[in-house]
Amino acid sequence: MRYIRLSALSVLIACPAFPQAAAPGLRELSASFESLAARVRPAVVQIFSTGYAAAEENNEGANTGNLLTRQTATGSGVILTPDGYIVTNNHVIEGARKIEVKLAMRDPGHSQEMRLPAKVVGADRQTDLAVVKIERDGLPTLPLGDSNALRQGQVVMAFGNPLGLEGSASTGIISSTSRRVKQDDPRAYIQTDAPINPGNSGGPLVDTEGRVVGINTFIITQSGGSEGIGFSVPSNTVKMIYDQIRKDGHVHRGHIGISVQTVNSILAKGLGLSQDWGAVVSDLEHGGPAEVAGIKIGDIIESVNGKEMEDAGHLEEAIFNLGMAGSANLNVIREGMPLRVTVTVHETEDDPERFADMVDPQNNLVPQLGILAIELNDNLTSMLTDLRHGYGLVVAARSPSPPYTGASLELGDVIYEINHSPTLTVKFLREKLNQMKAGDAVVLQVERDGKLMYVPLELD
């Protein structure tokens, strides 16, 4: 049996008994959507990227032998400034060698589409956001709204280029204002039932005022198409990431040196807590910001910067979104008594995956080791302090199935030598490996976590 799901609006329109007096209201509703689409669409772009991605394994589980394969992708983006700063998803442009942006408008007096080259300003893998720039002035823009002000049931529209269908729009509501897809993931998304499909990635989710309240990022589906479960990065997170990328080219994240757990009824009874909800401090970083500020194990954190913390996930999300805010105001319950504590936000040590943003897949590939390596420069040495040498190659990415037998290289390793020969350049390392054959012994001198070590391996 085939089921057809009709919206309330379509039923009302089709029903011949619908009172004639309501027709003006429907016309006004339709006109408001038309006006909103007309305002939003000029600032929504289509993004074409050509680049490289990790090679997939075949049906037998064996790698094709290449670390990277050439791929093309399309997605969406939204213009935030008249001089061409555009926000999109990182996965739309990740690994791209060439990026082009197609504008919704056309050149005055010309029929050709406006397709312009773009450069990556910066990207953030954790939030799956990126900023690209095109060289053009006087572009239409959309403002970022306040995602904290969203309410469940609020009407929204999604714009983008699903399945390559340029300039598409869909409507729906906010299904959830803060949805964590994985329990231990501090990232929270806006959930919407507005139809979102592949190609919508990076496009805006807007409210009825035309403000961007989210960047459409992914869907949960069993069919491969939209099933009314779409997720967008909240606009307040977008603003934090966008501002930092524009300023520094990358993202600084803050931490306060705290571990928390969700309070439940058993925890509350056993520990004699004053409430059976919220987030309780289970551990503190010794000498960390929270401990220095006076936070103690067993404290219940009720709110961060005025926002109520319902559980540990909400607190981790709030800390994740602090950025480098300077300080955070925590309302705390300690042995039933309320306290207010101001904690200084410290910068989180960068994770090794940050180096992958700096690679050029063709120039940095070392196929014999299954890695992408970057030559040390001033930028890298400022990120990797107290290195033993001023030269070397940083491992920025690696294949899950390396083409050799032996110990694995790790992200962030600095390779100083190959069989006693200093590795000053990627080209030298490739040439040295090209002189070897299968079965030859290779010993790399590597610095890992501040310690020198030898990594012995045998080429396949």
User: What's residue 386's pLDDT?
Assistant: 82
Plot region of 246 (φ>0 → left; ψ -120 to 50 → alpha; else → beta): alpha
The pLDDT of residue 345? 87
Is the pLDDT confidence value at 367 over 60? yes
The active-site residue out of 124, 128, 207, 413 is 128
The pLDDT confidence band at residue 459, using thresholds 50, 70 and 90, is confident
Helix (H) or strand (E) holding 26: helix 23-40
pLDDT digits (tens, 9 = 90+) for 156-185: 999 999 988 888 999 999 999 988 887 666
pLDDT for the residue numbered 379: 75
Give the global pTM.
Answer: 0.70
Distance CA 277, CA 312 (A): 10
E strands present in 256-400: 258-262, 279-284, 300-304, 307-308, 327-334, 337-344, 346-347, 365-366, 371-375, 393-398
**147-156, 201-210, 371-380: which range is least confident on average?**
371-380
Whether 91 is catalytic is yes
pLDDT of residue 350 exceeding 90: no
- The answer, yes or no, to whether residue 58 has pLDDT greater than 70, is no
pLDDT of residue 65: 39
286 is catalytic: no
**Is 128 considered catalytic here?**
yes
Q: What's the chain's average pLDDT?
A: 83
- Catalytic-labelled residue, pool 49, 201, 226, 232: 201
- Least Cα distance to 400 among 391, 389, 408, 390 occurs for 408
Tokens read off for 166: 């340029």
- 72 pLDDT higher than 60: yes
**Which member of 49, 76, 91, 413 is catalytic?**
91
> Cβ(285)–Cβ(307) under 8 Å?
no
Confidence of residue 15 (pLDDT cuts 50, 70, 90): very low
What domains are there in the chain, each with its CATH number? 147-248 (2.40.10.10), 254-347 (2.30.42.10), 352-459 (2.30.42.10)
CA distances 451 to 50, 276, 333, 351, Å, are 38, 46, 43, 17
Q: How confident is the model at residue 113 (pLDDT cuts 50, 70, 90)?
A: low
Q: Over the stretch 390-445, which tens digit does the pLDDT of each residue have? A: 999 999 877 766 788 888 888 889 999 999 999 999 999 999 999 998 888 899 99
